[in-house]
Structure formats: C-alpha cells, structure tokens
Amino acid sequence: MKITLLTGKIYNIQEAFDFPLKVIKSPRAKRLTLRIDTKDHQPVLSIPPRCTQKQAVSFVKVHEDWIIESLRNLPKTQRFTSGQNICLFGKEILIQHAPEKRWGARIEKGILYVSGGSEFTHRRVKDFIKKEAQTKFLKLSQKLAAKINCQVHDVTIKDTKSRWGSCSSLNNINYSWRLALAPKEVIDYIIAHEVSHLAHQDHSANFWQCVAFLCPNYEEGQTWLKQHGKELYIFE
C-alpha cells in the first residue's frame, strides 16, 4: 500500500505487514493513531504532517498484535440463508427456501419464500430487499417531504458503508440497502434526516427542528444507530 505524506513523498510499507492497511493523511493530527474500521474490517492509520516512513512502520509494528487480535474478534460476515430470522422494515421475517416456487422471492404471512436453487438464496434475498427498499423508502420520503412543502424526485438504493443516506441538490435521496434491516424507529429517523436536508443543507438548529417535526422520537433511532449500527454490516 502506498502512503502519500503531506511532504509529497511516497512510501510503500504494505509489504511489512500481513493485513491490509488504510492510511489517512490528517493535517490536523498531532500524532500517529490507529483504529479498526469495523465496516471494512481493516485497521486505519492516521498520520500527521512530516511523518516519516520509518515512524509509520515502527508505530504499526508496535501495535501489530493488537491489530491482529482486534481483526480476529470482529464479527464474521454472513450470507442470507434459509431458516434465518431477520429484521426487515421493522418486522421479524423468516427466510424460507422454497424450490418449488416460481416467483423469485415473496413475503407471505411473515415468511420470505425464496425459490430456485439454494445457492441463489443470498443474492435473491438481497435483491428483494433492495427492490422493496426503493419502493418503501421513496413512498416514505415523499410523504414526509410533503409535510414541509418539499419534493423528492427519486430514491436510489446503494451499497454504501460511510453513510446511511445522502440528499442531493436535485432533490434525490440515496439510502443504504442495509437500512432496511434496522428497526422501524431507525428507518423513520434516517428518512426524516435526509428529507430535512431538502429544506436545510446543513446541521443547524433549524435542521434539527425539522427532523424533530418529522420524527418526534428521532433520538431513539439516533441512539440505536450509535450503539448497534455496525451490526448491520455483518451481511455481505
């Protein structure tokens, strides 16, 4: 992995380690720091100005055992499988492989039936969630937007890891498909958050007042995300 430091020099220290290493240049950093990115399952090294290659390598080597142990203790990624219970749009759903069916994937009485070969279950469940999320999140977004005299033109479902949603100046909103796996109060909060950006392109007091107007109990969803948000990333 190449590290471009603020001095303009380029170093390569990846060969010194047996794990991927993400490096962030920070002009405000006063010292070298390490953390584990639980979403991407890799260590992140933040480097201050004028840091040398020798200093960076030495710092990581000192903490190498901690990095390896932390990576080992991260929850393993999962695939959707038959017999698995998941939270979907705030409701508990059982995934059931149904090879005799001919419709791909469909929910009936709390059961998500998935047809075809079992090797396609994960992909079909994921595709189903994305399709349903696009429809449901668009409807919910437009409903909330109408309350503040705004419009949502379109909603796109993405596989993002850095944010749960984003709002463009064109009144289009992006949501992470994993949001569909969160409790209802979390979904309500994130949609209210992004819709509020239609009126306030910042996080000012007026913005948070708008969020509270659209979702009075938004702090419940906000707290859940801080405590459990990373758990939604265990699915591939």
Q: What is the pLDDT of residues 23-59, one digit of tens each?
A: 888 888 889 999 888 777 788 888 898 888 888 889 9
Sign of the CA dihedral running 7, 11, 14, 17: negative
Q: Which residue bears the tokens 């279950």? A: 121
User: Do the bridges between strand 105-108 and strand 111-114 make them parallel or antiparallel, or are there none, so unpaired?
Assistant: antiparallel
Q: How confident is the model at residue 69 (pLDDT cuts 50, 70, 90)?
A: confident
Rounded-to-integer distance, Cα 181 and Cα 204, Å: 29
Query: Range with the lowest mean pLDDT among 17-31, 84-98, 178-192, 194-208?
Result: 17-31
In contact, 5 and 13? CB cutoff 8 Å: no
Q: What is the pLDDT of residues 123-180, one digit of tens each?
A: 999 999 999 999 999 999 999 999 999 999 999 999 987 789 999 989 999 999 999 9
Q: With residue 137 as reference, give the H or E element that holds it.
A: helix 121-147
Q: What is the pLDDT of residues 99-129, one digit of tens each?
A: 988 888 999 999 999 999 999 999 999 999 9
Q: Which residues contact 48 (CB under 8 A, 6 or more apart)?
A: 26, 27, 29, 30, 31, 32
Q: All domains of the chain, ordered by start, with CATH?
A: 2-72 (no CATH), 85-234 (3.30.2010.10)
